[in-house]
Every structure is written in structure tokens, then in C-alpha cells.
Chain A
């Protein structure tokens, strides 16, 4: 039998928009009275918008749900309703079990109190009992790595320390249902890694249901089995994480199809990459190269002021769609930087064996002149790779296991 723990039924939240977003004063309310009397028959003209509408879904015990979508799509509103912070304008949510919320790291920290006092305060606010905190106190402090400063007021902490302490408290909460909003991006790289691992422990814990709002596709992919895609306050997709994420990514890139020369970029602009394409061995453009094939990356350039004087270094980063870099190649790696003698032309990079596995990838392009950034285009292009014969065998390699393929051989001795 299915064990439904969260059942959202046609949830909707309407916000009334007021000029300047100011709060109402008593005067406004009083001066509105005649207006209200005269407009009794007419519907009141108020501007409102639905931050969330017609949201219905069910979650079973043990599900980890990723909630994705562009900013302002209604993701956080949904969490706030489920967390009972705000009430829905229509519809209802049925939740079975103890709910804990982490909408923001450090909620309820008081700068005047010491780290120790704040652990107890913050713990109580997010719903821990005192003896529960007592039991977990040492673990919390150890995880946060601030043992030495535990009896100092939090206002004297660096922001990184505050965030670490706050995450540690929240991570040691033991609820049946956990609602998380973008809490992964805390602290330095080492702590981020540690907190991601901790999160994985929390999510993977048997029988716990987790709802996780994030823009980090890689994190959603690794933590969640189901995903909800929001846009404009409505649920667009709900299902298996991989399927939903790939639809989201396709949708985003379809919507924002701009030519390379119009993309967002930085740099002094002395040189500009205006176009990029991939050519197959017989010189035809292709959108989907095969693993292991001979391909060329063609970067079309234009110099802003005729030619450039300095030495040009061009290169690219090949990335997964969530943005993890897989490899890069720059002319300087092979000592092939040069001066340009034409104002327009092409940089051509050749692959002997195209090293990516079947899947979607993107490219960031970076050009420097004499070490100065001239043109930096993040997410400059996107392409799909088809399964091919990288290795002379019939093995299909999954993008998740090895997005990047490396030549090599095995010997037995």
C-alpha cells in the first residue's frame, strides 16, 4: 500500500500588490471605507498575482523531491505553505509527520548571544527539544569546526563561521519531513563538500521525506528521486528527476536561444568570438558529434580595432549542463599562442578522438590578449553528443558514470 505523507491539493497563493509595497496604515484603512461602500457592487480593483496556483501532488514516505524552476516560479511559496509559515489562499495540504524547515541558514540567530547559547536558541526555534540538543551538542560543535569560539558572541564570528554553525544545528535536526531551500551553498569549498555529504546522509536516511528547492541541478540530481518543475507559479512537470531536469534544461535553452555574438560576456572586447560550431571529418557542420570521432571546434573571431598587437590565447571549458567543468583546452597548453594578422578569422581546435559520452554538454569560451581577459563567454554554446565508438568495443558508457572518456589500455602480468 502506498504510504502518502504529503498530499497537496490544488494549492494556490495570491498576493495583493500595493504601491511601494508599503504596509497599510490605519489611515488607509479608514479612508478606504467610503470607497468600499460605494464599490460594494463592483468588484474591487486590486492588483494581485498568484505566486502559486493549482499545485497538486502526492509524496510517499521516503521520497526526496527536488523542486526546480526559474526565479519567482513559486518554489519557495510552495515550501512556505507546506511549512505552515503562510496559509494558502486556496486548496489545502495534508501532511503526516513532524515537519522541519530550513528556508534560510541561521534563522533566529541572535548576534549578541554566544555560539553555545545560539545553538540552544536556534535548535528550539527549528523544533528541537532541549534534551535532544543536549545529546547532539558535541556533534553539532564538532561538525561546525568552531570549538574554540563557542563561548564568544556570534556577532564576532566571520560570516562563514556563522553559516557553518547554523548549518550544523539544522543538519542535526531529526524530522520525518524536511523542507530545504537552497542551503547547500554555504561556507568555503571544503565545508560545502562536507555539507553536501551530510545532506546526502540526511536525505538517504530511510523513511525520511525531503523537499529540496535548488538551482543546483547537480545537487538535485544526486539527492532527489523525484522532481517538480515550476514555472510562473504552476507545476510544469512532476516525475523522475532525470526526465524532469532534462526537460527543464531543454526548455531553458530553447527559450533563451541567442546567437553567440549577443551572449552575456565580459572582457575588454578587443577580440570577440562571434560564432562557434562543430565540424565533422568531412567538413560539415554538426550539432551532435559522436563519441570517439574526429571533430573540429571552430571559433569565429573578429577584432574590434582591425588587428591586435598582443599574443592571443584562446581556449574553452567543456562542462556538464549543471556546470561542472570536465576539461579545458587552451592554445597555451600546447604552446600554440600567436599574434593575429587578420581582423577576422577562425580558431580551429581538432579532436583526434572526441572524448565525451552520450549526453548534453556546454562550452565556456575564454580569450586573452597578453594575459588580459579579452572575451569571456560563459555558457557560450551547447551541444549533444551521440553514442559512438570511442573504445573499439560495444560498451555503452553512462554519462553519470564517466562523462569524460580517456584513452588507455590494460595489461595483465
Chain B
């Protein structure tokens, strides 16, 4: 398989245009528009705090439950929206793909990147909450947070590049995916701390980088536990492996999905 790297690099203008389009059209013809990006996480924060924090009394390693669950939600929502978007990206761009040639890989890439914009208001809320709960904001946070988001982005794109051609061929993917994402939510420490399950979560943290991102950011922000560098490294390696496999799978499928779209 020959990969034209130059072509991918030269498509950067197309990448920006497609990303911009995806951002613009997402909230067009909605009354509240961009406000939704703020309302959605705040609303789920409220519900999750009431249900899991107040009623179910799930422990949160002595961190205030709202901020504890918000970190989890931020990463998890980013992953689930980008994955849903990128795996549907070929079908969403079907009219263009059937009529014109451009590096097809730009469809899942642009779709994934367009969700980065959602993180701006979300992280502002996060810092607002930190100030409110008097959590000390450290310079490390500004390195950890973007790095962990990048890790999730790469992981999500890797899975998305794998699912997008499959979705083009078998529309079953579209039906199964929300179900799998829902299961994944419970396999990820969004509403509960990793300490609840002791050592068993370690293996999950390696193959589920979202779990690792949530754990690393919580433990480092609140100083509950020292960061487990071995698990983090393994998780990063796993992420890169998924990305590379996804990329080559996509490239291999590239020539025949046009005929089945």
C-alpha cells in the first residue's frame, strides 16, 4: 500500500474548510446556538451530581462530587461525540465523496477536530468550578489537560478511522455504536473513582485511554494519588497502536467504499 503523504499534507486548506463547516452547521438553526455547548455539560453535571453524588452517594476520593464528575464527563463526552461524528463522517460526506476526489481521510479528521471547539467553554466551566471549590490551579494542569485531550483525540480518531469505512459498508455500525458507547460509559470511571475497584481497573485503564485520562487528571489535580507512569505510558502506546491500525485500515478500504456508499 502506497500512501501519498504529500497529498495529505497539501490538503490542509481543505481540512480547515471542512472543520469550519462542521463547526458552523452544527448549531445553525438552533435558537440557543453555541450556548448549547455550555448548557449540555452544565445540565448533565447537575443531574449526575444529584443522582450519583446525593442519592447513590458514590465516593469521589474526597473531591467535591460536582467537580469530580465534571472532569469525567468532559473527557467522556469529548470521546463519544468525536467517535460518533467520525464514524458517520463518510456517510455524511457521501455526496461530495461520490462526485469529487479529495484525500478521503480528511472526512474523519475534520469531523473529529471540529469538536475541539466544544472544549473551550467546557474547560472555562472547569476552571470556574476549581476557583469556586478553591482547588489550587497549578501550571502542570495546563500541560496535563491538553496532552490528555490530545491522547483521547488520537484514540477516538483511530477508532473512528476504523469504523467509518465499516459504517459505509455495513450500516449496522450506526445502530450498534450508541449501544457500545453507552456500555463504555460504565466501563469508564466517569461517575465513580478508580479506587472503588482497586487493582482491577488497571488493565481497563490501559486499553481504555479515556479511563486513564480521567484518572490521571483527577489524581494530579487533587493530589489524591501519585501518577502511575507505567500505566500512562502503556495507555499512550495502546492509543498510538489503535491510531496506526485505524489509519492503515482506512487507507486500505479507501478504494472500495465509494462504490458502496
Residues of chain A touching chain B, judged by Cβ–Cβ distance below 8 Å, are 15, 23-27, 29, 83-87, 99, 101, 103-104, 107-108, 110, 112-113, 117, 120-121, 123-130, 153
Contact = CB atoms under 8 A, between A and B. Distances in A.
A247 B67 CA distance: 78
A98 B256 CA distance: 23
Interface string B20-53: 1100110011000000000000000000000000
A121 B24 CA distance: 12
Contacts of A120: 17
B170 A125 contact: no
B171 interface: yes
Contacts, number: 83
A112 B21 CA distance: 10
Interface in B167-213: 169-172
Interface residues of B, number: 28
Interface stretch (B92-100, B138-146, B157-165): B92-100
B28 A85 contact: no
A101 B101 CA distance: 8
B95 A29 contact: no
A222 to B, nearest CB: 26
Interface in B80-126: 95-102
B102 A125 contact: yes
Given A24-B169, A26-B172, A130-B16, A101 B100 contact: yes
Contacts of B245: none
B256 A87 contact: yes
A117 B24 contact: yes
Interface of B: 13-14, 16-18, 20-21, 24-25, 28-29, 95-102, 169-172, 255-256, 258-260
Mostly helix, strand, loop or mixed at chain A's interface? loop
Given A23-B169, A110-B25, A124-B16, 14 more contacts: A15-B259, A24-B170, A29-B170, A84-B101, A85-B97, A85-B99, A86-B255, A86-B258, A101-B100, A112-B24, A112-B28, A126-B100, A127-B14, A130-B16
B260 A23 contact: yes
15 contacts: A24-B169, A25-B171, A25-B172, A26-B170, A84-B101, A85-B101, A101-B101, A103-B100, A107-B100, A110-B21, A121-B21, A123-B17, A125-B18, A127-B14, A127-B102
A87 B2 CA distance: 14
Contacts of B256: 87
A346 to B, nearest CB: 53
A145 B259 CA distance: 37
B171 A83 contact: no
Given A25-B172, A87-B255, A104 B99 contact: yes
B39 to A, nearest CB: 21
A108 B14 contact: no
Given A24-B169, A86-B259, A125-B17, A113 B24 contact: yes
A113 B24 CA distance: 8
A153 B98 CA distance: 24
A108 B100 contact: yes
Nearest to A123: B17
Nearest to A29: B170
Contacts of A123: 17
Nearest to A132: B13
Given A87-B255, A87-B256, A127-B102, A108 B169 contact: no
B142 to A, nearest CB: 30
Contacts of A103: 99-100
Nearest to A86: B258
A101 B102 CA distance: 10
Contacts of B170: 23-26, 29
A34 to B, nearest CB: 19
B24 to A, nearest CB: 6
A99 B101 CA distance: 9
